[in-house]
Structure 1
Amino acid sequence: MGWKERKAVRKKVASERIKELLKFSELHKNDEILSKNSIKTAVAISRRHKIRIPSKFKRKFCKKCFTVFIPNKTVRIRTGKGKVTFTCLNCGHIKRIPYLKEKKIINNIKIEN
């Protein structure tokens, strides 16, 4: 087995491990220390192997303090001006995610009808 094949196998194993750790942190979101440690480990693995964390998982924790987002307990969620704003209540970090594509699609459908 060549080094490229070994690298591909490592990346595959690492991506599976990242997903497992992030699912584990969601299951144990009431235990703050356990969930933070699993998220930190997943982020460290993704950085080491240069693997992106899937966006569905990225939106579930704070990038700065690695806290799992629990609405009204650890995060404040607001919508407006084409964005969804997540504000971490532990560290104050703000994450903005645009939703203009969905809005444009809806507007195009209305115009056609």
Structure 2
Amino acid sequence: MSKKRISKNAVAEIGVERISKLTELSKEALADDRPDLAVRYVSLARAIGRKTRTKMPEGFRYCKKCLMPLVPGVNCTVRLTAGKVVTTCQNCGGLKRKPYTKERKK
């Protein structure tokens, strides 16, 4: 017998569901003071995203160096400098810069 094939759209939908669940679990683990578990959930979510070619949920931020979920005021600082939003991870010191000049130009 041949193996049943799953369409790419169905695989992507399953991937999105699992990634969103893992990101929620990582935030909960961070709130419960389990950073090792939070990092594991983020790494699993990234692996699923690579396999299914889907993106992380909108608004979920994590450090690309240490894979720690970033929650402002808890484990990261957010500053506005020279047209950029600079997010600094307090765990490893990694920086994430995102420009916001598009919104200011009119």
TM bucket normalised to smaller: 0.7 to 0.9
- Aligned pair count reads 101
2: CA distance, partners of 1:82 / 1:15:
32
| Structure of higher CA gyration radius | 1
Deviations 1:23-71 (A, max 9, x none): 12122223211211111100010011111213411xx211121112233
TM-score, normalization: structure 2?
0.81
Q: Structure 1: state its 5+ residue gaps.
A: 109-113
Q: Which structure: greater helix fraction?
A: 1
Q: Structure 2: state its 5+ residue gaps.
A: none
1:25-104 matches, cutoff 5 A: 25-30=26-31, 31-57=34-60, 60-104=61-105
Quote the residue 1:22 is aligned against: 23
TM-score, normalization: structure 1?
0.77
Deviations 1:55-113 (A, max 9, x none): 411xx211121112233442122111111101112222110011122222xxx4xxxxx
Instruction: Read off the aligned partner of 2:93 and give its amino acid letter.
Output: G
Higher relative contact order structure (alpha carbons within 8 Å, sequence separation ≥ 6): 2
Aligned-pair Cα RMSD in Å: 1.9
1: CA distance, partners of 2:58 / 2:97:
13
Identity %: 34
